[in-house]
Amino acid sequence: MKAASIETAEFVTNRPQSPRGEAIVRALGDRCIVLVGMMGSGKTSAGRRLADRLGLAFVDADAEIEAAHKLTISEIFATYGETYFRDGERRVVARLMTEGPKVIATGGGAFMNEQTRARIKERAVSVWLEADFDLLMRRVRKRPTRPLLQNADPEGTMRRLIAERYPIYSKADVTVSARDAHFDAVVNDLVDALHAHLIHAGDASASRSVHVALGARAYDIVIGDRVIEQAGERLAALRPKAACAIVTDANVAHIHLAALERSLTAAGVRHARIVVPPGETSKSYAQFERVCEAVIAAKIERGDFVVALGGGVVGDLAGYVAASVRRGVGFVQIPTTLLSQVDSSVGGKTGINSTHGKNLVGAFYQPALVLADTAALATLPEREFRAGYAEVAKYGLIDDRALFEWLEANWRGVFAGGPERIEAIARSCQSKADVVARDETEQGDRALLNLGHTFGHAFERLVRYDGARLVHGEGVAIGMACAFRFSSRLGLCPGQDAERAAAHLRNVGLPTRIREIPHWSADADAVLDAMYQDKKVQHGALTFILARGIGQSFIAKGVAAEDVRAYLLEELAVAAS
């Protein structure tokens, strides 16, 4: 049967609309971008959107072949055989690459031809859209015309093709996951990967992306230098025509707000600014009310965004506002401190403080995007950066001994701002993303992320959240050292591991003893009482994150209060270091 009206998929759009798109096109020169991968990986859908984003022409090689023969691919296979089709495919792909820069989607078998691979290497940048078996089968079942799957065992055929082709596909210049998400999200990944390959080739400090896999609420964490300048482009790609309200504090606004607003203006994103006082006191009912009213006054609708520009305080407050206004508007995190980049901006915890304790009023509300700008960290006071590092070390102490050992060897590079910094942030975000994907609302092992926090939050409460005396990361550092020493006292953890954990924290300049908190006067009973306001308390029983060793933390429920008190008496008897 003849295909009645088959047209080529080629079209031309405007020139690139973003600085990164323009940079990619400039770096391409007269080369093409060739998408390779299995049937069902989304080469055509993603390729068409990528071409539109870059202002290039798009061509589907299979559509070209169908148009030339006035037959579908299945009909060509049935009439002439696969060998004939592959020879024609090779010639079509070679021809397309001589017609100027464009995005080309190829058939699943095209890259398997050695001549085609060599030609692509000369004339194009190859991108493999890698997809797993389950995703491919879900997609191909919707289009049951794939000629290679017209047999009694399509699943077996798919597994065989994956085994044969993936080692060859892996020779592509760039690999991007064809994950189960909207194709616009995949295009964001393609732009990131192409930009890194073409602009930052060989640059270890190029941006990194971490995916938080939460189904329909999945999102990406983009980590790199000056990503604040990409915010407008990325928001416009997420939701075209969306507006935003920027929530920031007075200190951050002075340093970073202008760059963010320039980016939004350049991308045509309408925006308003809401500035709150700096510090923990902004996580209050009064500021929550003020920011909610300001967001509503800015005419932010459900399809728009609240953008948090700042540290953990701003992120927690703005996130709770986003979850509450109109029963939920879009939310984007742009964390500007190390602590917020590796911890509070990831995972969807939002909230404000109560007079009874920290973060006791709030909601789980996931962002649509996190932009972690490592250049922003250069503006941090040394104490604040060091405090944020406590959360980085935490991920190694929880369940990744290899990360902890890497930090022991590379922490100076992290502090100096070399490629080690991006690596440390990316590995920390990946650790948290993995836990959040398993346990979004802290019903299970997400509680492990609170290592050191039962102690630390109690210390913060007892100093009345006075940042001059104790900032959050310092409280966590002391809390983690206490958790390891308490574990050792209970016979759970070797003493040398407890000392090794504390020694690393001390080496980077963090406190590890309660008595190191300036003007400390609270006794063991006061600390214990403050712990009972912890969110992990269940039926009046204390829950701690304890450890059997470095990288071997676990949830300990119903810890006896007398054991905690005995440890605290012992701990408080030790003078400040």
Active-site residue numbers? 327, 349, 391, 432, 442, 446, 450, 453, 457, 472
Task: Say if residues 62 and 146 touch (Cβ distance below 8 Å).
Answer: no
Question: Parallel, antiparallel, or unpaired for β 357-364 and 349-354?
Answer: antiparallel
What is the rounded radius of gyration, in angstroms, for the C-alpha atoms of the chain? 27
Cβ pair 148, 40 in contact under 8 A: no
Residue type, 463: V
Q: Which of 227, 230, 220, 236 is nearest to 303 (CA)?
A: 236
Nearest to 150 by CA among 61, 210, 97, 78: 78
Task: Report the run of H or E that residue 309 belongs to, with start and end.
Answer: strand 305-310
Give Cα separations from 6 to 39, 64, 70, 91, 103 (angstroms): 19, 9, 7, 20, 20
Instruction: Quote the CA–CA distance of 269 and 93 in Å, as a whole number.
Output: 39
**Spatial CB neighbours of 481, under 8 Å, sequence gap ≥ 6:** 452, 498, 501, 502, 505, 512, 513
Q: What end-to-end distance do the CA atoms of the chain give, in Å?
A: 85
- Phi, then psi, of 69 in degrees rounded to 5: -95, -15
